[in-house]
Amino acid sequence: MESSRLPSGARSSYPCRMQDTPTDFRSLIDRFPSASAFARTVAGEEHADKGKIWRRRNRVPVEYHARIVEICPPCGIQGVTLESLAAMRVAGRGEGY
């Protein structure tokens, strides 16, 4: 995962789509060119295949939440906090299984 870290002040190499603050994980993942691009940015190349699963389930494992909060501002996605991700996780419980 270290190799996928964004340098301080850098923009993501993935052009994120600007919209209102995401209300669920699907809308967050959809800001990236693909679910794989989201997973690659959050968890590293070795987890790129997880993006589709996360999107279908409308959940991302909690161990990646801090990384999501870190990458959202450089991608132009505002309003994503650990608290908002926790709320998305609760709201998405039971979806897509």
68-85 tens-digit pLDDT: 999 999 988 999 999 999
Identity of residue 82: L
List the structure tokens of 19. Answer: 């919209």
Per-domain residue ranges of the chain:
21-91
| Side-chain half-sphere exposure of 81, counting CA atoms within 13 A | 4
Length in residues, the chain: 97
pTM of structure: 0.77
The answer to whether residue 91 scores a pLDDT higher than 90 is no
Of 68, 58, 50, nearest to 89 (Cα)? 58
11-57 tens-digit pLDDT: 445 556 555 789 999 999 999 999 999 999 999 999 999 999 999 99
